[in-house]
Amino acid sequence: MADSANAGRRIRILSVDDHPMLREGIAAAISRQPDMELVGEAVNGREAIEVFRKTLPDVTLMDLQMPEMNGVDAIAAIRAEFSGARIIMLTTYKGDAQALRAMKAGASGYLLKSALRNEMMDAIRTVHAGRPSIPVEIAMQIAHHAVADALSEREIEVLQCVARGSSNKDAAFRLQISEETVKGHMKHVLEKLGATDRTQAVTIALSRGIIEL
């Protein structure tokens, strides 16, 4: 009986993004779908948690980069309270590291903002049906990179310092470790990322979403 009762019910959607124009675009696209309705909007991760509690949406579209609380942290918080929450991460990043981080936090899908509107609607329906939705190209990157070249937390911290212009000495002072330790971490970073120098390592890490500026 429950299945037949839900059959004619619209998919209730929460949209979370700090850009008004993107939220307006999503709202307009959803309004044209006979099987969907927008039940709430939020402009950052903290507000998303509050609105989720009030609306209990079927599917949440969550931006990655937001003020106050980012999308990954918001997903983790919502899923900790509502284990059945179905959330699609929206981002401009094609990086596999960002996607993997979102999925580990509990996201059911990962969608590029550049995707066509019909792709977004298909992703919503797929996730609502209980299946994961992630672009093939990103899924292949995750499968290729996730284990073989995963950086440790300390290696990421060192690389983040380098990306912000720190010398080995500055990075060592900032992280309260020796300069030799920094050099050792950077050696491993170059090997894992297949980079020939620090600049290339930073470029690769940024493109994959391992670090941010």
Residue ending a domain, among 121, 145, 169, is 145
Q: Give yes or no: residues 78 and 98 share one domain.
A: yes
Structure tokens at 189: 């970073």
**Residue numbers of the chain with a pLDDT score lower than 50:** 1-5
Residue ending a domain, among 119, 145, 171, is 145
Q: Give yes or no: residues 189 and 102 share one domain.
A: no
Query: Is 199 domain-assigned?
Result: yes
User: Which range of residues forms the domain containing residue 171?
Assistant: 153-208
- How many domains in the chain? 2
Q: Give yes or no: residues 117 and 192 share one domain.
A: no
Query: Is 167 domain-assigned?
Result: yes
pLDDT tens profile 112-132: 887 767 789 999 999 999 998
pTM for the complete prediction? 0.68
CB 208 within 8 A of CB 177: no
Strand partners, 91: 112
CATH code, domain with 183: 1.10.10.10
CB 94 within 8 A of CB 77: no
Q: Give yes or no: residues 86 and 108 share one domain.
A: yes
**pLDDT given for residue 94 in this prediction:** 67
Query: Is 213 domain-assigned?
Result: no
**pLDDT given for residue 2 in this prediction:** 40
Residue ending a domain, among 126, 145, 164, is 145
d(CA 108, CA 83): 12
**pLDDT given for residue 3 in this prediction:** 44
**pLDDT given for residue 208 in this prediction:** 75
Q: Give yes or no: residues 136 and 41 share one domain.
A: yes
Nearest to 42 by CA among 11, 63, 72, 12: 63
